[in-house]
Amino acid sequence: MSRTASALTPALAAALVLASAPARAAWDLNLPPPVTPLAAQILDLHNLILWICVVIFIGVFGVMFYSTYAHRKSRGYRAAQFSHNTRLEILWSVIPAVILVVMAVPSTVTLIEMEDTTRSDLSVKITGYQWFWEYEYMDSGYSFYSRLSTPREQIENRAAKGEHYLLEVDNELVLPVGKKVRFVLTANDVIHAWWVPKLGIKKDAIPGYVSEMWAVIEKEGVYRGQCAELCGKDHGFMPIVVRAVSAAEFEAWLGERAASAAGAAETVTETVTIHPGAAVSDVDSTVTVGG
């Protein structure tokens, strides 16, 4: 390598580092800020386990590096000749067991809390399809579909990418803050997974199987997620958008949407009765208008 090339290499490396600074600034080194008590509990558990692992790492590798350095051959050190040490074997069995118990207790508490869907204020059924979601407010019966709304021009690189590229939908899931929402998950075709990181919830939606999870959103805002289970060619085009609003705003929104949906469909039931001696036939015919 010439002297010129050798001189340019550090400069080129520095230029690449500076050029990549905006990308590196977007890196998140932790879980996203939680907006539910469950997400906060999961984050606390994550941090606890992380620091336990850090302490174990420093302890194990510290002893290993010290032993390698202090007992190196150049110092003329001769290895001790023994086959076992009962006290040491007890210690390296008891200490890991205690560490596991310390980790298991908060983990078990969090797992039990994650599965407790009782005393919910609202139930929402989520059904996964290839490649969109259906949401049903089970208490009112109102349901709708939610699909990707990112323009095709952006996907095909014929237009600049938007702020929420591939994380925007035509119909958002609206939920009230301060209320315990129970989610009932299933799927219509293949396995999907409903995941919104800031809510701290993620669970598979499986055809023919119903699973549950819950959340209490504490802060109004828009929270985005996506399908987290490979579900076919358009798996990457199956976003989730949750809009958290006040309880009063939610009730007004749901009432308006349910009334609008009811007005768009009209059901007519007709009963035809034949006189005695003849066959009796009840004919139920359904006619849908609009919708």
For residue 156, give every residue at least 6 positions away whose Cβ sits within 8 Å of its Cβ, in sequence order, or none. Answer: none
The burial class, CB within 10 Å (0-12 / 13-18 / 19+), for 24 is: exposed
183-238 pLDDT, tens digit each = 999 999 999 999 999 999 999 999 999 999 999 999 999 999 999 999 999 999 99
For residue 207, give every residue at least 6 positions away whose Cβ sits within 8 Å of its Cβ, in sequence order, or none. Answer: 186, 187, 188, 189, 190, 191
44-62 pLDDT, tens digit each = 999 999 999 999 999 999 9
> How many Å apart are CA 169 and CA 256, to the nearest integer?
20
Topology at the third CATH level for domain 122-264: Immunoglobulin-like (2.60.40)
> How many Å apart are CA 223 and CA 240, to the nearest integer?
8
Domain ranges of the chain: 32-73+82-114, 122-264
The strand ranges marked E within the chain are 122-129, 132-137, 142-146, 173-176, 180-187, 192-196, 201-205, 211-216, 221-227, 239-245
32-73+82-114 and 122-264 share one CATH topology?
no
What class has domain 32-73+82-114? mainly alpha
Computed over every residue of the chain, the mean pLDDT equals 84
pTM, 2 dp? 0.75
pLDDT level of residue 11 (50, 70, 90 thresholds): low
Q: Which two tokens stand for residue 162?
A: 């938007």
